[in-house]
Structure formats: C-alpha cells, structure tokens
C-alpha cells in the first residue's frame, strides 16, 4: 500500500525567473507589533534605510523589472507595496509609481499591483485611489480585540483592533470589495482560543484568511515551542480550525494554509510561505533600492538580507548568484538532510527557510515547527482521504499516512 503523500523530491530544480516584487516603499510603521521581523527580532538594518523609496529608485526598479521580464520572456509582472506601513508614503507616491510602471512596461508587459497594509490609516479617499489605480489589498489582523491587541500595538502600546475594524467596515461598504480584497493576514497566537478566533474571522464577512506561523528560528523559538520536547502547540491550535472549516465545506471561505496543504497532497505545484518548498519567484526591493531575498530571513541574524545589490547599479538577475537566495529560488534543491528523508516532504517542504535556521547548523535543520507541521499535515491528509470513495482508495492502493509516520 502507498500513502497519498510521497517523497517526490530528487530531480534537480532550475531557478524560476522573478515575477513578483515586494516593494518596501516605506521603512517605518505607525504600529510596533511585538513579533515584527523588521523592528523587533534580531535585525535592525531598517534604521539605516531611507524612510520612503525615492523617485530615482522607483524608476530604476521598474526599468530593472522590465529588463528581467524581457530577458525571461515574461509578459506579466506583479508589484506588491509593502513596508513598514505602505500607506505612510502618501497618495502621490502610489499614483506616480503605477503611472510610471504602466508607461515603462505596457503594452508588452502587463503590471498588476497590490498592497499589504495594517489598515489603520485607510480612509474613503485611500479606498477611492486604490480603486482608481486598480490596486488590490490585504489587511493584517490577528483576531478578536483582545488577541489582536496583545501584539499589534502602536508606539504608545495602544491596541490597533478598533482602527482596523473601522477600516474593514469601510472596505465592506465599497462595491469593489470582493474584487479588490485579498483577505486577512493573521499571525497565530497559540494562547488564544482557536475556534473563537476562527468564528470571529467568519463573523467579519470576509472571503479568505491567511494564518501565519510566527517568524522564529531554532535560536529564538516560537512562543510555546519546546525545541527539545515533544509538544505540538501550533498543530493543536490549527487542527480544531481545520476540522470546523472542513466540515463547513463552504467554498466561499478560504483558509489558505489548509487549501495549499490539500493541494500539495494531491500534487499541486503551488505553495504558501509556510509549507511547500516550491521555488519562489519574488524579490524584495528596499527603500534604498537594495535587491534582497525574503524579509522573513531577518529573523535569523543582523544584515542577512543585505546582499550588496541595488537596482541603481545591478540587474535583477544578479540576485541568483547570492547563496542564501537559493533557499527560495531553487527551494527543492536546498532541503535539510533530515527533510530529504521525510515521508511528507512533498507537502511540508521543510517549512519556511528562516524557521530552519540555527547558528550551529545554518539552514540544515528541519523547521522549528517540524512536529507541528507533521501532525497537521497528517491530520489533514487523513481527513481528506477519508472523504474519497472506497473504490478510489482501493484502486489507488492508498493507506493512511499516519501509519507510515509512526512506523518510520
């Protein structure tokens, strides 16, 4: 008998071209979330960054993105406005960026735009502008007022929930809401009641949530994880939510982490940041023009993303020469030794690269969430397989993966 999940890794993966740019257009934020990798983990390089991306960097970014598209026969490119808090740049910045991008790229290359905001500065005027410029948006919120405000606070320590809720109410009153809203991005707090958090998100009338594992490494483990123990607090928090979401079978409400895991179980090549290890295709451009790998690496050590490249003097292609970039650009080739032998690596992918890091072994560790990921993925696989008709299961000769993991 075989399991649904098989170790399909092994073939050498070629790097994929960059199709998305995460633009750090503002390096400061009006919030000061306690878990933020930009301000409150090990890296403090934001202190040397310009507060806002300059016109010169904007023009060079678009031109270098164009060169990369032409060199790789790409006809679309995605720009994701990020920060810090991207709305701090002001409305003229976004108008200028999108105008320049369309002028430099069209008609051969079609740009698309989105913004990830904490929502606290969103107004009717901002919403009108995002509609006018065809920019979709995602909002960050961690759950109920009490849970959100435990971490998502401003520089005076005041919680942000009520300001974000006001923004969500504003968004939902907009006729373009369903077209533009990408969903809620939420960092998991295991000290909360998972079902209460899930039902709270459901009550907000949204279409999607992205539940994210807190950024952490083996040196600075996530809250509640005993690296030498056997506990699985994140799986134990996520499983009740999965069970309720799966039982509801509401195709109008998407919990992205679960959808990606189910897709990966059945061989999808789409992954989210926390699972999958499918080579990613994005680069970060900092406010000073720095071309960098994922900002989440900042959880590892000071300066890790400063790879010495800049849109003012380098081409995007050059990022592929930087060793740490391979963790993302050819992720399937860079798996830790333990993960290569794991029966669920084709779904888990070793987790997010920064979560593997320790100062002793670099990135050659399974994720600091390994036990949680294994328990969650096995649980989802069992639930999903149980729904398959007996005839399909017997034709495919499938056995529950749990037996394989326990026996391994």
Encoding tokens for residue 43? 């890296």
In the complex, least distance from residue 33 CB atom to ligand SF4, rounded to whole angstroms:
26
Segment lying near ligand SF4 (by CB under 6 A), choices 22-30, 47-55, 120-128, 338-346: 338-346
Looking only at the bridges linking them, the beta strands covering 282-285 and 254-255 are: unpaired
Q: Does residue 235 touch ligand SF4 according to CB under 6 A?
A: no
Comparing CA positions, the residue from 93, 41, 43 lying closest to residue 220 is 41
Q: Does residue 370 touch ligand SF4 according to CB under 6 A?
A: yes
Segment lying near ligand SF4 (by CB under 6 A), choices 83-91, 119-127, 198-206, 367-375: 367-375
Taking the least distance from each CB to ligand SF4, the nearer of 68 and 212 is: 212
The binder of ligand SF4 chosen from 80, 374, 380, 385 (CB under 6 A): 374
Distance between CA atoms of residues 10 and 340, nearest Å: 8
Half-sphere exposure (Cβ direction) of 205: Cα atoms closer than 13 Å:
9
Q: Does residue 278 touch ligand SF4 according to CB under 6 A?
A: no
Asked if 113 and 169 count as a contact pair (C-beta separation under 8 A), the reply is no
The binder of ligand SF4 chosen from 88, 216, 307, 373 (CB under 6 A): 373
Whose structure tokens read 């923004």?
Answer: 167
Segment lying near ligand SF4 (by CB under 6 A), choices 152-160, 236-244, 347-355, 389-397: 347-355
Taking the least distance from each CB to ligand SF4, the nearer of 138 and 366 is: 366
In the complex, least distance from residue 405 CB atom to ligand SF4, rounded to whole angstroms:
9
The binder of ligand SF4 chosen from 83, 183, 293, 350 (CB under 6 A): 350
The binder of ligand SF4 chosen from 57, 127, 345, 401 (CB under 6 A): 345
Taking the least distance from each CB to ligand SF4, the nearer of 84 and 353 is: 353
Q: Does residue 265 touch ligand SF4 according to CB under 6 A?
A: no
Q: Does residue 338 touch ligand SF4 according to CB under 6 A?
A: yes
Distance between CA atoms of residues 282 and 295, nearest Å: 11
Indicate the Cα dihedral angle 400, 401, 407, 408, nearest 10°.
160
Q: Does residue 84 touch ligand SF4 according to CB under 6 A?
A: no
Q: Does residue 5 touch ligand SF4 according to CB under 6 A?
A: no
Asked if 19 and 25 count as a contact pair (C-beta separation under 8 A), the reply is no
Taking the least distance from each CB to ligand SF4, the nearer of 201 and 234 is: 234
| Burial category of 329 from C-beta neighbours within 10 Å (exposed 0-12, middle 13-18, buried 19 and up) | buried
The binder of ligand SF4 chosen from 144, 272, 287, 367 (CB under 6 A): 367
Whether the CA torsion 51, 134, 187, 346 is positive or negative: it is negative
Kindly write out the interface string for residues 160-199 of this chain, putting x where it contacts ligand SF4 by CB under 6 A and - elsewhere. ----------------------------------------
| Contact partners, residue 262, CB within 8 Å, separation at least 6 | 380, 384
Q: Does residue 331 touch ligand SF4 according to CB under 6 A?
A: no
| Contact partners, residue 23, CB within 8 Å, separation at least 6 | 53, 61, 79, 80, 81, 82, 284, 285
Give the bridge partners for 255, in sequence order.
209
Q: Which residues contact ligand SF4 (rule: CB under 6 A)?
A: 338-339, 342, 344-345, 348, 350-351, 366-367, 370, 373-374
């Amino acid at each position: 008998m075989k399991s649904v999940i098989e170790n399909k890794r092994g073939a050498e993966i070629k790097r994929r071209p960059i199709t998305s740019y995460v633009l750090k257009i503002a390096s400061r934020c009006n919030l000061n979330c306690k878990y933020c990798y930009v301000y409150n983990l090990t890296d403090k390089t934001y202190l040397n960054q310009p507060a806002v991306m300059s016109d010169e960097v904007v023009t060079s970014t678009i031109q270098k993105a164009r060169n990369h598209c032409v060199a790789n026969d790409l006809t679309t490119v995605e720009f994701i406005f990020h920060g810090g808090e991207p709305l701090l740049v002001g409305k003229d910045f976004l108008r200028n960026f999108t105008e320049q991008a369309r002028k430099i790229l069209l008609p051969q290359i079609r740009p698309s735009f989105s913004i990830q905001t904490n929502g606290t500065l969103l107004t009717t005027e901002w919403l009108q502008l995002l509609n006018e410029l065809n920019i979709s948006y995602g909002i960050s919120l961690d759950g109920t007022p009490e849970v959100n405000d435990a971490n998502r606070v401003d520089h005076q320590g005041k919680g942000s929930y009520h300001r974000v809720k006001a923004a969500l109410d504003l968004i939902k009153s907009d006729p373009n809401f369903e077209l533009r809203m990408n969903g809620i991005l939420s960092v998991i707090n295991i000290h909360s009641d998972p079902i209460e958090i899930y039902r709270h998100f459901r009550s907000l009338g949204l279409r999607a949530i992205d539940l994210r594992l807190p950024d952490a490494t083996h040196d600075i483990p996530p809250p509640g994880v005993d690296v030498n123990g056997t506990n699985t607090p994140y799986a134990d928090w996520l499983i009740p939510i999965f069970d309720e979401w799966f039982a509801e079978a509401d195709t109008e409400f998407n919990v992205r982490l679960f959808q990606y895991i189910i897709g990966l179980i059945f061989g999808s090549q789409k992954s989210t940041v926390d699972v999958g290890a499918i080579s990613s295709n994005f680069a970060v451009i900092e406010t000073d023009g720095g071309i960098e790998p994922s900002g989440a690496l900042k959880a590892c050590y000071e300066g890790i993303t400063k790879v010495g490249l800049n849109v003012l003097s380098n081409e995007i292609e050059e990022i592929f020469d930087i060793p740490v970039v391979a963790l993302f650009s050819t992720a399937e080739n860079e798996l830790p030794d333990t993960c290569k032998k794991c029966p669920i690596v084709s779904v888990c992918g070793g987790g997010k690269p920064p979560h593997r890091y320790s100062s002793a072994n670099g990135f050659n560790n399974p994720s600091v969430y390994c036990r949680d990921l294994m328990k969650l993925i096995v649980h989802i696989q069992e639930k999903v397989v149980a729904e398959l008709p007996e005839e399909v299961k017997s034709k495919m000769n499938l056995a529950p993966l749990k037996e394989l993991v326990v026996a391994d």
